């Protein structure tokens, strides 16, 4: 979305631009300061100060059109499953880092999104709302402006965003469902691995069994209350059922699959502009389908 728009009613006449924005939108103080600094607030098409008095029929717009990311466009697969002027959700394939890092400076999802914008003629600053590990597939949530990003993050903080994952884990889980409530921390800052430690951050994962395989594997659906780094992988390993293919947490099995069999399959949220409750799903990838055929 490039603009938030509002037309001043007769009841609102005589108030300031700032009053109108506060009444009709939920911009944070930080966002308002950014708008003022970058001349994003327009009154009847011209930059305006927030203390200007408005009259009936005036049009107030917040223009984000100059915001953009500076990643190098690259041919990385981008598969949209939901998109409008404010938000984008894609089905991320396994094997890609979300954004450039020291270890992966290029060929990331961010680079692919820049190429996607070139192809589609769309322009927005890339604002990732969630993260997925390089070898985890599934729904990746991107906001197209700071307001929507902040609003979805607020929903996450009060558990209004529901995130579900599908995984194949080692061993037969005996109970049909359960809750793993175990704090996750970073035992050794020199290493990537996280772990369940007493000084860790509160972390809660719900699981339910979808199918048990006689060969000694279980298909599970997982619902996150918190979003710690490697949370599902750490928690499932902690209860003795690491994710199949997870080299880091004890589930390695290259004979079956070459990465952890973990897929972000579902997200629901309230649209930050319309208030509509939206549910989005992402198909299970082919490598996980092949895995499930092998273990039947």
Which residues make beta-bridge pairs with 274? none
Single out the residue of 65, 28, 87 nearest to residue 276, CA to CA: 87
Around 101, how many Cα atoms within 13 Å sit in the side-chain half-sphere?
A: 9
The residues, any chain, with a CB within 8 Å of residue 148's CB and separated by 6 or more, are 1, 86, 87, 127, 272, 273
| SS3 of the chain: helix, strand, coil, percent, to 5 | 20, 30, 50
The whole-angstrom distance between residue 176's C-alpha and the CA centroid of its chain comes to 28
- Rounded Cα distance, 57 and 66, in Å: 26
Query: CA distances (Å), 205 to each of 92, 111, 220, 228, 266, in order?
Result: 22, 31, 12, 10, 15
Token duo for residue 186: 């970073």
Cβ–Cβ < 8 Å for 269, 155:
yes
The whole-angstrom distance between residue 226's C-alpha and the CA centroid of its chain comes to 13
The residues assigned a catalytic role are 133
Which residues make beta-bridge pairs with 241? none
Token duo for residue 9: 């009613």
Q: Is 156 helix (H, G, I), strand (E, B) or coil?
A: helix
- CA 150, 67, 81, 261 torsion-angle sign: negative
Token duo for residue 188: 């050794």
Give the number of other Cβ atoms within 10 Å of residue 171's Cβ: 16
Cβ–Cβ < 8 Å for 84, 142:
no
């Amino acid at each position: 979305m490039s603009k938030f728009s509002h037309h001043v009613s007769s009841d609102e006449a005589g108030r300031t631009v700032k009053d109108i924005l506060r009444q009709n939108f939920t911009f944070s103080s930080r966002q308002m300061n950014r708008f003022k600094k970058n001349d994003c607030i327009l009154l009847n098409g011209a930059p305006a100060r927030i203390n200007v008095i408005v009259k009936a029929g005036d049009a107030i717009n917040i223009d984000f059109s100059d915001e953009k990311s500076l990643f190098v466009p690259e041919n990385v697969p981008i598969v949209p499953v939901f998109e409008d002027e404010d938000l984008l959700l894609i089905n991320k394939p396994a094997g890609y880092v979300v954004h450039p890092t020291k270890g992966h400076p290029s060929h990331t999802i961010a680079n692919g999104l820049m190429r996607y914008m070139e192809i589609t003629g769309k322009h927005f600053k890339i604002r990732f709302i969630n993260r997925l590990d390089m070898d985890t597939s599934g729904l990746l949530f991107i906001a197209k402006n700071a307001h929507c990003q902040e609003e979805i993050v607020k929903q996450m903080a009060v558990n209004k965003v529901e995130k579900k994952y599908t995984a194949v884990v080692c061993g037969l889980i005996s109970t049909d469902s359960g809750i793993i409530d175990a704090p996750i921390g970073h035992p050794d800052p020199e290493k990537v691995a996280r772990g369940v430690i007493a000084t860790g951050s509160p972390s809660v994962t719900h699981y339910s069994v979808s199918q048990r395989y006689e060969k000694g594997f279980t298909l599970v659906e997982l619902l996150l209350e918190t979003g710690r780094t490697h949370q599902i992988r750490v928690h499932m390993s902690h209860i003795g059922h690491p994710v199949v293919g997870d080299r880091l947490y004890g589930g390695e099995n290259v004979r079956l699959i070459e990465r952890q069999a973990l897929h972000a399959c579902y997200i629901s949220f309230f649209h930050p502009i319309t208030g509509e409750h939206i549910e989005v799903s992402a198909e299970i990838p082919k490598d996980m389908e092949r895995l499930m055929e092998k273990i039947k």
